Amino acid sequence: MSFTLPELGYTYESLEPHIDATTMTIHHTKHHNTYVTKLNGACSGNAALNGMDLLELNQKVGTDAIPSDQQTNVRNNAGGHWNHSFFWSVLSAPSNTNGPSAELKAAIDGAFGSLDEMKSKFNAAAAGRFGSGWAWLGVQDGKLTVTSTANQDNPLMSTVVGSDACIPILGLDVWEHAYYLKYQNKRPEYINNFWSVVNWDMVNVYYADSVQGKVPKL
């Protein structure tokens, strides 16, 4: 199947001042689009890959379902496409962001003690990710967990095991291209400001689905 760059549910300026329009424009039209283009190239003429959608490609990374000569290609580019598509969906203009649902808030309190404690642990995972990667809030065995992955890996991939495997309900890109134009080397400031543009309505939907074992299908 052929993959396309998803449209955003907001303008590039919508996340100002927390994420600037220039970064959003480059991030979406250049970085994300490159992953889409390279993924289509990997799948072109390959019957094994063409039979899988984006979610399946990510879940099959590291298994025999992905041809050995395309493992790295699919891991990087299917991962990059899924991660970014997911990331755009959990962002919202500051004026539109609400908060966790009663159900999600109860789960956060049960797993972390409070919303602030969850944010603190998430922030630490994002700030502590060496080099490029992602921080995630996800559901594992019905309970919330925080983890991080390197490069364009995500917690859905078979290569991610143990406590790092989960169904993501919130994610943050901590590659330098996601923040460097505005924040330079101040990654913690970018991470703190991220909470001002979280689309909690979407996170609530992902949480409700995840406790039923449903993975976001983007």
> What digits encode the pLDDT tens for the residues 32-75?
999 999 999 999 988 889 889 999 999 999 999 999 999 999 99
Greater model confidence, 44 or 109: 109
Averaged confidence pLDDT in the chain: 96
Domain boundaries, the chain: 19-218
- The mean pLDDT of 136-149, rounded to a whole number, is 97
Mark the binding-site residues for Mn(2+), compressed into ranges.
27, 84, 173, 177
Q: Do 54 and 82 touch, CB atoms closer than 8 A? A: yes
pLDDT at 161 (0 to 100): 85
pLDDT band per the 50, 70, 90 thresholds, residue 1:
low
Angle at 124 between CA 201 and CA 157, to 5 degrees: 65
Token reading at 172: 């943050």
pLDDT at 41 (0 to 100): 95
The number of residues making up the chain comes to 218
Amino acid present at 76: N
Query: What HEC string does 43-71 produce?
Result: HCCCHHHHCCCHHHHHHHCCCCCCCHHHH
pLDDT band per the 50, 70, 90 thresholds, residue 163:
confident
Strand blocks (E) in 107-213: 133-140, 143-150, 167-173
Residue 175 φ then ψ, to 5°: -65, 150
pLDDT band per the 50, 70, 90 thresholds, residue 22:
very high
DSSP per residue over 191-207, as a string?
A: HHHHGGGB-HHHHHHHH
- How many Cβ atoms from other residues are within 10 Å of residue 50's Cβ? 11
The C-alpha atoms of residue 147 and residue 163 are separated, in whole angstroms, by: 8
- The mean pLDDT of 125-149, rounded to a whole number, is 97
Give the predicted TM-score (pTM) of the model: 0.97
pLDDT at 97 (0 to 100): 85
CATH architecture of 19-218: 3-Layer(bab) Sandwich (3.55)
Strand partners, 171: 136
Mark the binding-site residues, compressed into ranges.
27, 84, 173, 177
